Structure 1
Amino acid sequence: MLYDILVSGVAVGSIYSLIAMAFSLIFRSTGYLNIAQGEMVMLGSLVGYTMLVSLGFNYYASLMITMMIAGVLGLLTNQLIFIPIQNRGGHDLHILIASIGLLIMLPQVAGLIWGTKTLSYPNNISQNQLALGDIQISGLNFLIIVIAFIIMIALQCFFRFTRVGQAMRAIADDKVMSQLVGVNIKKYITLIFMVAGGLAGAAGALFGPVYFASYDIGTIGIKGFAAAVVGGFGSVSGGMLGGIMIGLIEGFSGTMISSTYRDMILYGILILVLLIRPTGIFGIKQRRDAA
């Protein structure tokens, strides 16, 4: 049973990690907070369901298409909402208010398109039980862990070994200096929103088989946000670790103590972490030029 909780916690935590990384990417590169990121996860779960059930794609193709669609939605969010607000003299607070508007509006739009009923992914995505010695673990949880870690490792390699990724890192580290050496800030921030949207879409498509798809699951973004804070808001690597920690705490507290008090325990530990280390585990100081 202990191993089941461990694997399940890591599987759910890896989904939180993807969301946390999306939060951190946007915040570190722009300095503002898009709290509607959870709604992108919700759209990812619904789009993934449509690709898989309505259009008949296999799960892996559905995941890839969902990531691409969510990436485009992330790009459009920046191009059609956030950039025009900035161009008209808006500040971080105005961006935050606009993202609150998206937080409220997107579930209603999703409800109109997909309806308000809970949609269940097919249960044949990965039914096998994997044997590790005498230990039996869920094939679905193992699949989610593998896919999520492939995405996270691929993203880290992209940032480290490609010129585009290095330019994105440079913007995150020092936006002013990057601009001085000729980096096109607007172009790369647009790409960052695409990547963040893709991560959220992947999280939604991975969340669906474990739980379900619905217009009102955007609250999962709160767990992703908590993971980003625990790991160190603005640190992509910290978001990865924070998500796993949140998933494990949630799994063990819900099973070994009580599912009734699971969230109370989770956020109590979150507050304790912030009291001990306000910047999070891998916290970085916010740049003065981030705003």
Structure 2
Amino acid sequence: MTRLCACLLLLSAAQSIAWAQFHEVDMIGTVYVDSVSGTNVTIVPQGRTIRWNLVSGGQHTVTDSLGGMIFDSGLMTSANPQFTFTPPATGMINYQCNVHLSCCNMVGTIIVIPALNFPGSNEDTVLETSVAGAALSIDETKMAAPGDTVSINYRSPHGSFTGIGFLIVGQLFTTGTLPGGPTGFPSVHVNPSITPGPFLLHNGTINTVLGFQGLPPNGHNLFFGFVPPGLAGNSLMIQGLSTINTAANGFFAASDGKVIQLTP
């Protein structure tokens, strides 16, 4: 626990970079590219703001398929290269670029899921998990039985925290309860004031044999062998923290929390 607290202090001394509280979608050529999925499909929880960025391809629009009844960016150019929208409700919204629809079928889809139970600080961080060899995904809660493998990927899709120090932390708690978080940090879902306390799954704030590395461009992967027996009835909270003193809380950016429920 002392080591974890010390690492959190190190985070506050990290170098400053720009941060943004958006889910990013780039317009590259005549394609919408979501920063998380890498496709034209964007999955966000209700209440999270999406920001489209004009990267290349000349002029674009971001217009819902109902002709702008829900949102319409108007014509986006190098003079106004960004547009934001916050989906008001769950469901699916199709959208298009009116400039490149007929020639290039430039379309995208937003899937809005219910608001998260363990939201992070929404600052260009994504933590995905996988159980038993399934594909990594952003699903908030998964189940793992003894013998299952667990994989984790923590990354900064838009590169805001690439090369910056980071931690991946975990905490066991009784299923059906919640560890909560430290006072004053609503985006943190591990709690040093309860027992058992949080522990480090990975410390990306220290030097390696190759020197200081920070968060790699494709993120950091963790793979755990087999879930041991005897943990049924417990759950594991997992969260990634990136070092940044210009983050919203002045110390670190936090991923959404993910839970692995341990079953018999």
User: Which structure has more strand as a fraction of its residues?
Assistant: 2
TM-score by length of 1: 0.23
Task: Name which one, 1 or 2, has greater alpha-carbon Rg.
Answer: 2
TM-score by length of 2: 0.25
User: Which structure has more helix as a fraction of its residues?
Assistant: 1
Structure number with the bigger relative contact order (C-alpha 8 A, sep ≥ 6) is 1
